Amino acid sequence: MPCLNRSALSILLATLPAILLATLLCAPLRAETRVPTSQAEIGLGFAPLVKAAAPAVVNIYVKRVVQTRSSPFQNDPLFADMFRNFGELKPRVQNSLGSGVILSSDGYVVSNYHVVGEATDIRVVLNDRREYAARVVLADEESDLALLQLEGARGMPHLSLRDSDTVDVGELVLAIGNPFGVGQTVSSGIVSGLARSGGAIGSARGYFIQTDAPINPGNSGGALIDVNGALIGVNTRIVSRSGGSNGIGFAIPAKLVQAFMDQAKAGNTSFERPWAGINGQVVGGDIAESIGLGVPSGIMITEMHRESPFFQAGIKAGDVILSVDGQAVNTPSEMIFRMSVVGIGEDVAVTFFRDQQIESRAVTLMNAPDVPARAQRVTGRDTPVPEVTLVNINPRVLAEFGLPLSSDGVVVAETGPYGARAGLRAGDVISEINGERVSDTGAALRALEASGRWLGLLIVRGGKPLQLKFRL
């Protein structure tokens, strides 16, 4: 290395502070997450953090009008299901409360679908007691998220969204919400787990961050924040035998909230998640050993639709999907989450295991095709079950009703008043009418019109066949 003369060295030493200052100013600042190192730091507690974050967490008061039936059999364990549709429909006002988080200065608020979904009147109250009327901009029951817009809001306090993929187990977190309607409340805890999903948490679908920060009814839709005041999740549910907090709470990751926000600002009126067109099972120890996979992980594809983007990319049944977009997936819920945060129209790297080798393919994410045509038909007044809406099966219909990919027949889209009384439900697949297979709505309508003194329907509900017979 060449030596510097005295003059050059003097110039370098004189300019070094300026160089260091410029470097610090130009370098991106990264929020520091660390354990307190002094008694003074411990003494501060979370007060400064709460003062900064709490104004962006709101209380939500909801009214909804529901139609209920009054039946003398509604509490009878034997006849309640049989007379489910018996009795006069009467409107009834339901009041509920929950929490929400302001995400932007112009008043976008995220909450849970189960808090504001199907609401007829929504009032949002800030912690400084200001009140705003709100309307639902985008809502999705499956993800349990809803985005509200405050009317006439400007310059609102709001929280920034952190990439929830960077969250680690053991991080300190705060839960802010309105439990039991007592007013804004703050509780503390840690991140107890990541990528929680499945029936054990009361949801067959979903992908959650687990925390031991106390969460109670009314906390739903509230904020789960890190020690830097960034939103890492939206509190949504708990596991409890008593109805109160047992230290097992779950939050929807902020990364899905960001995807939700992006779609709302793009003008979407419903949340669009990519369609996989596959069914699979979790790979346990026995399966992993049988196929030569060293560690039990991933999802083995058991069924695949020919229109699936995975099929189009060369992935086939029997392959084990290990990761999507560089993130490991071990349950179908994890895979749906990873696809949802990437978005429709994007290419995503999918890693899979096949024939003792790990391969990777680029998959273009897409919406479920709405072809062939649905050919919607409504049964006429002269049929045994009038005013029932039937549609043909296609990938979009399969996705909308959560039907098996192998479904064959026509789908009951709406039961109407007479179909419900006959025992039909939306999402039922009618595969046979009077012993004859039906492949489209036209054939189904002709078969219904030709019924004689008896009507026999073979339907598939929840993957199980069910026979319905009526004397006309």
Q: Annotated catalytic sites, by residue?
A: 114, 144, 220
Q: CA angle, 164 as apex, 161 and 165 as ends, to 5°?
A: 140
Q: Which residues of 321-348 are buried (b: 16+ CB within 10 A; e: fewer)?
A: bbbbbeeebbbbbbbbbbbbbbbeeeeb
Of 98, 103, 97, give the one whose Cα is nearest residue 53.
103
Contact 132, 61 (CB under 8 A): no
Of 18, 72, 59, give the one whose Cα is nearest residue 185.
59
Q: Give the other-Cβ count within 10 Å of 403's Cβ.
A: 18
The Cα 247–Cα 422 span in angstroms is 45
The Cα 229–Cα 231 span in angstroms is 7
Of 432, 426, 441, 427, give the one whose Cα is nearest residue 375.
441
Tell me which long-range contacts 448-456 makes (C-beta under 8 A, separation of at least 24): 448/379, 448/383, 448/384, 448/385, 449/380, 449/382, 449/383, 451/383, 451/384, 455/384, 455/385, 456/432
* C-alpha pair distances (Å), 3 with each of 12, 15, 16, 188, 388: 13, 18, 18, 57, 90
- Kindly tell me the burial class for residue 441, based on how many C-beta atoms sit within 10 Å of its own C-beta (0-12, 13-18, 19 or more): buried
Residue the block writes with tokens 């680029």: 362
What's the Rg (C-alpha) of the chain? 28
φ, ψ (nearest 5 deg) of residue 396: -65, -40
Three-state SS at 375? coil
Residue the block writes with tokens 């049988």: 290
Contact 251, 99 (CB under 8 A): no
Residue the block writes with tokens 């009703």: 401
Peptide bond into 372 cis (omega under 30): yes
Question: What are the counts of helices (DSSP H) followed by strands (DSSP E) for the chain?
Answer: 11, 25
The Cα 136–Cα 109 span in angstroms is 9
* C-alpha pair distances (Å), 142 with each of 103, 114, 121: 21, 10, 22
